[in-house]
Amino acid sequence: MFVDEARITVVGGDGGDGCVSFRREKFVPRGGPDGGDGGDGGSVSLVADPEINTLLPFRYRSIFRAERGRHGEGAQRTGRSGHDVEIRVPVGTLAVDDADDTQIADLAHAGDRVTVARGGHGGRGNARFATSTNRAPRRHDAGTEGEQKVVRLELKLLADVGLVGFPNAGKSTLLSRISAARPKIADYPFTTLAPMLGVARVDDERALVVADIPGLIEGAHAGAGLGDRFLRHVERCRVLLHLVDVTSGERTFAAAIDAIDRELMLHSPVLAAKPQILVLTKQDALPGDFDLALARREARKRRRALHVVSAVSGAGLPELLRAAADEVAR
Q: Is the pLDDT of residue 280 over 60?
A: yes
Contact between 321 and 178 under an 8 Å Cβ cutoff? The reply is: yes
**The pTM of the whole model exceeds 0.85:** no
Please tell me the predicted confidence (pLDDT) of residue 124. 94
Q: How many CB atoms lie within 10 A of CB 318?
A: 13
Nearest by Cα to 223 from 234, 233, 231: 231
Query: CA 86, CA 79: separation in Å to the nearest integer?
Result: 22
Q: 161-329 architecture in CATH?
A: 3-Layer(aba) Sandwich (3.40)
Element (H, E) at 149: strand 148-155
2-51 pLDDT, tens digit per residue, is 577 899 999 999 999 999 999 877 776 677 899 999 999 999 999 999 88
* Domains 5-155 and 161-329 agree in fold: no
pLDDT digits (tens, 9 = 90+) for 52-65: 888 888 988 999 99
For residue range 222-238, what is the model confidence (pLDDT) as tens digits?
Answer: 555 455 567 777 788 88
233, 243 in Cβ contact below 8 A? no
pLDDT tens, 77-93?
999 999 999 999 988 89
> Which pLDDT score, from 0 to 100, does residue 214 have?
74
What's the pLDDT tens digit per position in 148-204?
Answer: 999 999 888 778 888 888 888 888 888 888 887 675 555 544 455 567 778 888 888
The predicted structure's pLDDT at residue 144: 95
Q: What CA–CA distance (Å, rounded) separates 207 from 200?
A: 6
Q: Which fold, 5-155?
A: Spo0b-associated Gtp-binding Protein; Chain: A, (2.70.210)
Q: What is the mean pLDDT of residues 272-276?
A: 89
Our CA dihedral for 292, 294, 295, 300, rounded to 10 degrees, sits at 130
Give the pLDDT score at 188: 45
Phi, psi of 175 (to 5 degrees): -60, -40
Contact between 17 and 140 under an 8 Å Cβ cutoff? The reply is yes
C-alpha Rg value of the chain to the nearest Å: 29
- Asked whether the beta carbons of 283 and 242 are under 8 A apart, the reply is no
Q: What is the per-residue pLDDT for 4?
A: 74
Write down the pLDDT at residue 193. 54
Confidence of residue 115 (pLDDT cuts 50, 70, 90): very high
Query: What are the extents of the domains in the chain?
Result: 5-155, 161-329
| Amino acid type, 97 | D
CA atoms of 323 and 310, how far apart (whole Å): 16
